[in-house]
Each structure stands twice: as C-alpha cells, then as structure tokens.
Amino acid sequence: MSTAPRTRTRRAPLTILVGAGVALLVVVVLLSLLVGSRVLSPVETFGGLFGHDPVAAAVIWELRLPRTLLGLLVGAALGVAGALAQSVTRNPLADPGLLGISSGAAVAVVVGGAFLGLGAGTPRVLLALVGAALATVAVYTFARRSPEGLTPVNMTLAGMALTAFLGAVVSATVLLSASTMDQYRFWVVGALSIPDPQTLVPAALIAAVGAVVAASVSGSLNTLALGDDTASALGVNVLRTRISTGAAVVLLSGTAVALAGPIAFVGLVIPHMARALVGNDVRRMLVLSAVLGPLLLLSADIIGRLIVRPSELQVGVVTAILGTPFFIWLTWRTRSKGLAR
C-alpha cells in the first residue's frame, strides 16, 4: 500500500468564485431583459428601464423584470435546498425534485386550488410547505424500511416512485377541472411566469427564513459529515441538526414550487458544481449554490425563449432536458462506487 502523502488540490478563494459568478449572473440578467418573443436592443432595454421608451418599458417592467427576479429567487432557493439535501443525507442523488419533495408541494397546491379555492397568496405557500413536509416524511419512511436501509439509490427510487404517483394525481386533477387546467397547465411543468404579488411576498419571506436556518446549521453539517458518533462526541446535536436541515429544505423547496411549479434537476446539478469548485465545506457550498442556482435557471429560461420562438419552452422542460444526462451519469457513477466497495 502506498504511503505517499496526498497532495491537496488548491481551489480558488470563495470571494473570487462568487465574484465571477455574480458577474456572469449580471450578464444573464441583462440577457433575460433583452430576449423574448421580441428581442430588444441594449439601447431599447436601458430606455425602457428608465422610462424613455414606453413600449420597451411596458415589456420590461410588466413582463421580463418580474420574471427575471422570480428566476433569481427560485434558482437560489433550489440550489441551496439541493446542497442541504445532499449534505444531510450524504446522498449525491438527493434533489427536492427527485426525492418527491417538489411533487408533494405541487399536489398540495393543485388540490388545494381545485377543491378548496386556495390558489393564491399565503394559503398557496402554506399548502406547498405542508405538501413538501409530508412528502419528505414519506420518502424517508419508505427508504428506511427497505432491506438495504437509507442508501442513496433507495432514497432516490422511493422519491421517484412517489413523484410518479403524485404526478398522476396532479394530472388527474388538472384534467378533471377545466378552470384548474387553465390555471396550472404551465405551472405544473415548471414555469417562470409573472409572479402573483400576493404569493411572492410571503414566499420570499419564508425563503429568507429557510436561508437563515440553512446558514445556522451549515457548521454542524460539516461536523456531521464525519459520522454521527463523531459529531455527537464533538458536541453536535445530530437529531436537531437533521430536523433543522430538513425544515430548511422544506421551506426553500416549498416556496420555490409555490412560485414556479416543480422544477427538476437544478437542486441536483448545482451542489455538484459548487462542490467541484470549493470542496466539501457546506458553508462555502451554500454560498456558491445561491449564485449558481439562479445562473442555471435563468440560462435555461433564456434557452426556452429562443429555441421555439415566437413561442417558448417552459423552463422546467429545459432543465429536465439538460439535467437528465447528468442524472444518468451520476446514478451510474454512484452505483459503480457502491459495487467497488
């Protein structure tokens, strides 16, 4: 056995990476304001932003700027939620979409809107949170009762099975109710449509609470990576850390679904990108994921606007197309490592 010391890979400082990510994000935000069924020139865009061009101002302030701000919020929430889910479960396949959390939130919103009339505002956000929480408990229970226990693949399979079932419930509800179909037919595949102010404000506040909880448990998650026994010996309350992290994931993913529908793969891809750049430090991963998440989501939204112009492809469809090959590769890699052990 080789006794040669391991060489540590030098990584760029977090400030440089975040600065570069923010610079790219500014470019993507500007493109998001420029691109659509009608492409605006930079002169028209700045004229619209400052009210000098009435037509461009209507397009930007009423359509594209709210949509862009929604993409920033939802992308950051999904990126951070994915990083938390992968860290607390030690599962590289964890993602709010793949684990059924997003589907749980979606079915609660659709059923509540169709049968209870709770389709907007704070009730919609609360429904999404309840659905996300119940789905989280269900996936954990199903995976834990399997013969192999809480393995990454078992959790993912349980999540995918629950997602398929809940997706069928959503589809049936939408098809049976014409008014529900008109309201949710684009939302159920994931869409950055114009946000409802009554829903946006409470969702943003709840997402902010989720971000605070995420920051508070990030240090404990670093210690938890050493193993439950070691973490307990170092003074970490393992149960409280897991519950708090789960609550943060529910708050962030639930609000994202309430605003934009169940958008898959952002929470899966972004933590792996962040980990490759900054290593396994959860605190650094969370910061970078909050920047990379909206960068990926807004880029996918721009692609969706361009690929079938003058119509558009919903952002949830684009992220699924981009994320599926990555998921297949990651699943193969995870199973190969498991067999190697």
Name the residue ranges covered by the structural domains of the chain. Answer: 93-264
Tens of pLDDT, residue by residue, the chain (341 residues): 444 444 444 566 889 999 999 999 999 999 999 988 788 888 888 888 887 888 888 888 888 999 999 999 999 999 999 999 999 888 888 888 888 899 999 999 998 888 887 777 888 899 999 999 999 999 888 887 877 666 767 777 888 899 899 989 988 888 887 777 777 877 888 888 866 777 888 889 999 999 999 999 999 999 988 888 898 998 889 889 989 999 999 999 999 999 999 998 999 999 999 999 998 899 999 999 999 999 999 999 999 999 988 888 899 999 999 888 888 887 777 666 654 44
**Which pair of structure tokens corresponds to residue 220?**
């404990």
Extract the tokens encoding 32: 């998001």
| Domain 93-264 part of CATH 1.10.3470.10 | yes
Residues 282, 88 contacting (CB under 8 angstroms): no
* Tokens representing residue 311 in the block: 């119509």
User: What CA–CA distances, in Å, run from 232 to 37, 154, 216, 240, 317?
Assistant: 56, 26, 17, 11, 43
